[in-house]
A and B are shown apart, each in its own frame.
Chain A
Amino acid sequence: MKRETRRLVVYSTVFSIASFGVAAAMSLSAGLFAVGGPVGVFLDPVINLTVPLLLISIGFQVINSKGGPLLMGLISAALFAVAFLPFLALTNVVVGLAVEGSSRILGYRGMRAVVVNTALAGGLEGIVSVLLGALFVGYLINATLALIFTVAYFAESSVIGIMSQSLGSYLLKSGVLK
């Protein structure tokens, strides 16, 4: 393996697994699986879009190269598929593709790029996983509700994006990130 590819694979694996682990630990300890199906599907993104999204977003900044977001999306998708959550697996593929596209245009570091990438990742993850998850449970969401959820998730994840930018710039200044 070439050095660049190795770096890409190692970093995206570490960050995807960390994000998946934190998400699993948080949603299990919050007992979201308890309320399984009906309510859990709507609440899951609310938890998923905090620390797990922060880790994913810092991962984009750390990797800082082409193909990183796509690879992270695919690895997360594989992890969720193993955990028998097909709607989250599909969602992560969509998110990976979207962020790969946006980051080709905007780049990976800097206020604008980080906020847009994170908002795209979190918002898409939230709304797509809610739509697919509700279908999976056997509901169909109407358009007004979907719109409300979309706005809420995009707002939440842009706040996370601003946090991630401040953390990332701190890491860059302190020399942890290169």
Chain B
Amino acid sequence: MKLNFAVVLPALILISATAALTNGVLQMGFTALVHRKWRVIVIEAAVVAASFIVLSNFHRLYLFPFATRIMTYVNSYLIASELVDRPTVLDVFGERGVPLVIALAYYPTFISVGRELIENLKVRGLKFSPSKVVLPLLVFTIKVANELEAAYTVKLYGKFRRTLPKLGLWDYLFVLSSVVVSCLSLVILR
């Protein structure tokens, strides 16, 4: 299931905006259910629960929306990086979308690079140490910057003809449910 960026962008903006206006619990839950990474969801639930307990003990519960809001943004980023069909980003933004594609690809790529590193360390029987992990990641970051600059210089992204986005069933479902969730959260606040 891949979503069209032309649909995901306004829906996520709507969700983030209403998360800033309300307490954001509903938005957090909805975005978590969309990306369905259970490990992340368990961590987020633990963090939010602990935050609620600590803040209510310190009588500063008005800061609680910050936790849910940040979690909503993290979930939104995960949705955008995992579920979006990347070429559709370029359909929306043209050549200006290239850095955005890179930003969306950051998390999965870094995770896979990190996994490879740790596997290599294990296979060679080396001990885990931060400097052995930091240096390859640094080299990788510099390479990303190098290649991005090269892509802009030789215009690797090509010429795009903007066409109307082709939407599937999941796109309509996503937009509909995000609008419903946003409206519902505003109504509950009242």
Interface residues, chain A, with chain B CB atoms under 8 Å away: 3, 6-7, 10-11, 13-15, 17-18, 21, 24, 28-29, 31, 33-39, 51, 54-55, 58, 62, 82-84, 137-138, 167, 170-171, 176-177
Chain A CB within 10 A, most for which of B43, B46, B138: B138
Q: Is the CB of A10 within 8 A of B51?
A: no
Q: Which residue of B lies closest to A14 (CB)?
A: B145
Q: Is B107 interfacial (CB-CB < 8 Å)?
A: yes
Q: Is B54 interfacial (CB-CB < 8 Å)?
A: yes
Interface residues on B, range: 35 or more
Q: Is the CB of B106 within 8 A of A167?
A: no
Q: Is B70 interfacial (CB-CB < 8 Å)?
A: yes
Separation in Å of the A86 CB from the closest CB of chain B? 11
Q: Tell me, in angstroms, the Cα distance from A122 to B67 when the chains sit together.
A: 25
Majority SS at the chain B contact face: helix
Separation in Å of the B181 CB from the closest CB of chain A? 19
CB < 8 Å: which of B55, B63, B142, B152 contacts A177? B142
Chain B CB within 10 A, most for which of A18, A24, A167: A18
Chain B CB within 10 A, most for which of A13, A14, A21: A14
Q: Tell me, in angstroms, the Cα distance from A6 to B64 when the chains sit together.
A: 41
**16 CB-based A-B contacts, threshold 8 Å:** A3-B153, A6-B153, A13-B99, A14-B102, A17-B106, A33-B66, A34-B46, A35-B54, A36-B63, A37-B58, A38-B60, A54-B134, A62-B142, A83-B70, A171-B142, A176-B143
CB < 8 Å: which of A3, A84, A177 contacts B66? A84
Q: Tell me, in angstroms, the Cα distance from A10 to B103 when the chains sit together.
A: 12
Contacts A10-B145, A36-B66, A38-B58 hold; do A176 and B139 have CB atoms under 8 A apart? yes
Q: Is B74 interfacial (CB-CB < 8 Å)?
A: yes
- 20-56 of chain B: CB within 8 A of chain A: 20, 43, 46-48, 50-51, 54-55
Q: Tell me, in angstroms, the Cα distance from A82 to B43 when the chains sit together.
A: 23
Give every chain A residue within 8 A of B63 (Cβ-Cβ). Answer: 36-37, 137
Q: Tell me, in angstroms, the Cα distance from A35 to B110 when the chains sit together.
A: 27
Give every chain A residue within 8 A of B67 (Cβ-Cβ). Answer: 33-34, 36
Q: Is the CB of A36 within 8 A of B145?
A: no
CB < 8 Å: which of A24, A34, A38 contacts B50? A34
Give every chain B residue within 8 A of A21 (Cβ-Cβ). Answer: 106-107, 110
Separation in Å of the B81 CB from the closest CB of chain A? 11
Q: Is the CB of A31 within 8 A of B47?
A: yes
Contact flags B133-175 to A (C-beta < 8 A → 1, else 0)? 0110011011111001100110000000000000000000000
Q: Which residue of B lies closest to A31 (CB)?
A: B47
Q: Is B86 interfacial (CB-CB < 8 Å)?
A: no
Separation in Å of the B139 CB from the closest CB of chain A? 5
Contacts A84-B20, A137-B63, A176-B142 hold; do A34 and B54 have CB atoms under 8 A apart? yes
